[in-house]
Amino acid sequence: MNIDHYTYRVTWSAEDNEHVGLCTEFPSLSWLATNSVEALQGIQQVVSDVVADMQACGESIPVPLADKEYSGQFRVRIPSTVHRSLAIQAAELGISLNRLASSKLAT
């Protein structure tokens, strides 16, 4: 497992007055540091240690989001009034409802 493929983020924590390193695939893990580089290095090391422990225990390891295959399809339930409004907008623009929804989701 290549831990570099995981989704990392570094942000400022006003509460802790430090940078915090996070990993999307491991939401319970974090690392605090005085600068962003150390926060990133810290969370990467924590993830590496956790993955090694999980492997040693035979546990299932999360697949990095970057390595997952996506179909490009998902279902969204919306009120019929919103559906109607979107269908009208699409017709007025001369595009498919799918294209309109995709455009709106992308913004």
Q: Report pTM.
A: 0.76
What is the share, in percent, of the chain residues with pLDDT greater than 70? Answer: 100
Q: Say which DSSP state 5 is in.
A: G
76-95: string of b/e by CB count within 10 Å (b at 16+)? eeeeeeeeeeeeeebeeeee
- Number of folded domains in the chain? 2
pLDDT, one tens digit per residue, over 32-65 is 999 999 999 999 999 999 999 999 999 999 999 9
Residues 20 and 51 in one domain: yes
Q: What is the residue range of 83's domain?
A: 70-106
Of residues 19 and 1, more confidently modeled: 19
Q: Do 57 and 77 fall within a single domain?
A: no
- What was the pLDDT predicted at 107? 87
**Pair (47, 81) in one structural domain:** no
**Can you tell me the mean pLDDT for 100-104?**
95
49 and 86 within one domain: no
Q: What percent of the chain has pLDDT over 90?
A: 97
Q: What angle do CA 65, 66, 72 make, to 5 degrees?
A: 80
